[in-house]
Amino acid sequence: VQLQASGGGLVQPGGSLRLSCAVSGSIISVNVMGWYRQPPGKQREWVAAVTSGGLTNYAESVKGRFTISRDSAKNMVYLQMNSLRPEDTAVYYCYGDLRTITGARRYWGQGTLVTVSS
């Protein structure tokens, strides 16, 4: 099982980016999927999550600017980031609470760097 995140890059303040995360491998079901981020020199922090039923939740710092969505048929999760700020600069990690034949646990993607700077 593998989670592959993509879409990071350099963007100016006020700009937008869309992150994607694809799940591959032998999975039985996907429950919650979401994103964490780790700013330079800081601890990892939770950003957003979406349940299998489509319910979403966001950290206060990104509410109203970021939108999480998923395509369950493709086992993908997205993070649309608008009105980006320098403080959004971080490595973004996707995660999925997956069930496989060995059981259920959280899996992590490798991270994608988002840099917000002029």
34-93 pLDDT, tens digit each:
999 999 999 999 999 999 999 999 999 999 999 999 998 999 999 999 999 999 999 999
100-115 pLDDT, tens digit each:
999 999 999 999 999 9
Amino acid at 86: P
Token pair 């601890």 is found at 43
pLDDT for 111: 93
Token pair listed for 34: 């979401």
Residue 84: name the closest of 5, 4, 7, 3 by CA.
Answer: 7
Token pair listed for 62: 């990104």
pLDDT for 118: 94
pLDDT tier at 16, thresholds 50, 70, 90: very high
User: Which own/partner pairs from 52-61 qualify as long-range (CB within 8 Å, at least 24 positions apart)?
Assistant: 61/87
pLDDT for 63: 98
b or e along 45-79 (b: 16 or more beta carbons within 10 Å of the residue's beta carbon)? eebbbbeeeeeeebeeebeeebbbebeeeebbbbb
